[in-house]
Amino acid sequence: MKLGNIAHSRTGDKGNLVNISVIVYDQKHFKRLVEVLTPEAVISHFGDRIKGGVDRYLLPQLGAMNFVCHDALEGGVTSSTLLDKHGKSMSSYLLEMEVGKV
C-alpha cells in the first residue's frame, strides 16, 4: 500500500531544509506508520536528494508527524539550480512510498 492511500502531506522550506508533514486520514493508521515511516526509511526513499540527516517529530494527538530534512535543497532557493527550489514536490514523492499492509 502506498502512503498516499492513508495519509496526506504538506511541504515547506527554510534555507536548505525541507520540512514534510504527514497526516493520517484515520487515526487507526498512525501507530503502524510510526513503525515504518522512520527517518532512515525517508532517507532511503529519497536516495541522494537528501544529503543530510532527517529528524522526525511525532504529533500523536493529531495523527501526524513532521520530518525535517537537512541539506535537501542544494543550498536553498537563492542558490539552488533545482527545478523545484522550494521542495514542494517532495511531499508528493513521499506519498508514493510503499508502507506495506497497514
- Classify residue 34: in a domain, yes or no: yes
Edge-to-edge, what's the strand order for the sheet holding 54-59? 7-14, 17-24, 64-69, 54-59
- Classify residue 101: in a domain, yes or no: no
Q: Does residue 44 contact residue 98 with C-beta atoms inside 8 Å? A: no
pTM of the model: 0.87
- Tally helices (H) and strands (E) across the chain: 3, 4
Number of domains in the chain: 1
- Classify residue 102: in a domain, yes or no: no
- Classify residue 52: in a domain, yes or no: yes
Q: Does residue 64 contact residue 24 with C-beta atoms inside 8 Å? A: yes
- Classify residue 100: in a domain, yes or no: no
* pLDDT tens-place values along the chain, 102 residues long: 999 999 999 987 777 778 999 999 999 999 999 999 999 999 999 888 888 999 999 999 999 999 999 987 655 555 554 545 445 578 888 999 999 887
Task: Name the residue range of residue 46's domain.
Answer: 3-95
